[in-house]
Amino acid sequence: MSTSEDNENKSLVDMFDGNIDLIVQRARHNEQMMTRFQTYEVELLNAETLRSLVEVVLVNGKRHFGLDTITMVLLDPDAELKRLLTMEGLALRKFPNLMFTRSLDVFEPLCLSEQPQLGVYEADRHARLFPQYPRIPASVAILPLVRFGRLVGSINFGSNQKDRYTPQLATDFLEHLGRIFAICIESTQNHSKLIRTALTDNLTSVHNRRFFDQRLGEEVNRAQRRCEPLSCLFMDIDFFKKVNDTYGHSVGDFVLADVAARITPQLRQCDVLARYGGEEFVALLPHTREGLATEVAERVRNTICETPIQLPDGRRLEITMSVGVASLMDDNNCTYSGEMLLKTADAALYQAKDTGRNKVVYFEQSQIMQDVV
């Protein structure tokens, strides 16, 4: 065999070996990708609440797939998803990459197709999907979320690599992932609705005592871990028994619903309002110290007493409210339990009622420790 033939055969062998190495590398990459996807899929399917699903999608998804950016847009015409997530304690301000829209028409890329859309980032088409980022992605993958033929949102992947998402790439994997996302969102939303029904007071549409007791422990633990203040308002409608005795229980129910509707706008989304029993309401105010909590309590008291309640029969009923305030501060995080926080606010409420009603009273922990512990 000639030298040229030997060289040619050697080149063919080297080329074959190189192709084998490339095939093995791709196979290993695909295997790793499939393992990451299966792990991620299990995490998505195991998410029981809407809050946990959002965290899995936006936090774990970025890590699993090595994304530079990931955002989610959800159709929420009645702000129900926002309410459910707030009820579950998700701090929406910490998730600027979670967006809600009343109509998907404003998001042009979502309306072009129900198939994943891959390509370079185009500001006029994608800017709404990737807000508040110091560096815009170079390439994007838009995964429409579709249930029963209806578009309900999108999950949006962004990469700083221009060639990571191109129109030539196969989209089977992304299509499957989009379907999993959509199913999980619907499932957790329904689950959260059931929980909300069980934890909501039917008369006033605010949370019930069961929900409050659960959140009280969670918020106290969070405040202790992060060394943050937490305040509690204990509110009671003055002379409510007289309202029932004079006008009947149907009017009393109307008053309770009206009072709850007046209190709600005075609180933030992260605050927790509940009907504690009878004519009593309680509110937890995270990240709130004594001074601001007392201001909020005064706003609540004023909104109740300044404007008479217009009854269905046209009569006007003037009512007042007493409020007790207590705060969990940094210096007593280690010893101040949720039970003690509530008991302190309750004692302050009784002080307000015993000294004339229609007022706000603040109690420090030391006062209640001496009086009722």
The pLDDT of residue 35 is: 72
The pLDDT of residue 172 is: 83
The class that CATH gives domain 34-198 is alpha beta
Most distant pair of Cα atoms in the chain: their distance? 117
Distance CA 362, CA 234 (A): 10
Position 372 confidence tier, pLDDT thresholds 50, 70, 90:
very low
Mean pLDDT calculated for residue range 185-213: 89
Determine contact, residues 103/77, Cβ cutoff 8 Å.
yes
Residue 339 has pLDDT above 80, yes or no: yes
Distance CA 132, CA 135 (A): 9
295 a catalytic residue: no
From the list 108, 186, 218, 279, the catalytic residue is: 279
The pLDDT of residue 66 is: 85
The pLDDT of residue 331 is: 56
The pLDDT of residue 24 is: 57
Distance CA 199, CA 222 (A): 21
User: Percentage of the chain surpassing pLDDT 70?
Assistant: 84
pLDDT, tens digit (0-9, with 9 covering 90-100), for 88-107: 878 888 898 999 998 877 66
pLDDT, tens digit (0-9, with 9 covering 90-100), for 70-80: 999 999 998 88
Instruction: Report the 3 state secondary structure along the chain.
Output: CCHHHHHHHHHHHHHHHHHHHHHHHHHHHHHHHHHHHHHHHHHHHHCCCHHHHHHHHHHHHHHHCCCCEEEEEEECCCCHHHHHHHHCCCCHHHCCCEEEECCHHHCHHHHHCCCCEEEECCHHHHHHHCCCCCCCCCEEEEEEEEECCEEEEEEEEEECCCCCCCCCCCCHHHHHHHHHHHHHHHHHHHHHHHHHHHCECCCCCCECHHHHHHHHHHHHHHHHHHCCCEEEEEEEECCHHHHHHHHCHHHHHHHHHHHHHHHHHHCCCCCEEEEEECCEEEEEEECCCHHHHHHHHHHHHHHHHCCCEECCCCCEECCCEEEEEEEECHHHCCCCCHHHHHHHHHHHHHHHHHCCCCCEEECCHHHHHHHHC
Distance CA 63, CA 80 (A): 29
The pLDDT of residue 317 is: 95
Residue 190 has pLDDT above 60, yes or no: yes
Residue 325 has pLDDT above 90, yes or no: yes
Residue 357 has pLDDT above 90, yes or no: yes
Domain ranges of the chain: 34-198, 209-372
Assess if CATH 3.30.70.270 describes domain 209-372. Answer: yes
Quick count: other Cβ atoms within 10 Å of Cβ 245?
11
Listed range (25-39, 99-113, 203-217, 285-299) with the worst mean pLDDT: 25-39
Determine contact, residues 171/116, Cβ cutoff 8 Å.
yes
Residue 109 has pLDDT above 60, yes or no: no
Residue 293 has pLDDT above 70, yes or no: yes
Residue 244 has pLDDT above 80, yes or no: yes
pLDDT, tens digit (0-9, with 9 covering 90-100), for 132-172: 666 789 999 999 998 888 888 999 999 999 999 988 887 88
Mean pLDDT calculated for residue range 285-290: 93
Distance CA 53, CA 34 (A): 20
For tokens 């039970």, name the residue: 339
Query: pTM of the entire structure?
Result: 0.61
Of 87 and 366, the one with more pLDDT: 87
Residue 50 has pLDDT above 70, yes or no: yes
Of 123 and 106, the one with more pLDDT: 123
Mean pLDDT calculated for residue range 203-208: 92
User: Percentage of the chain surpassing pLDDT 90?
Assistant: 46
Determine contact, residues 361/325, Cβ cutoff 8 Å.
yes
Q: Tell me, what amino acid is at 71?
A: T
Residue 373 has pLDDT above 50, yes or no: no
The pLDDT of residue 127 is: 86
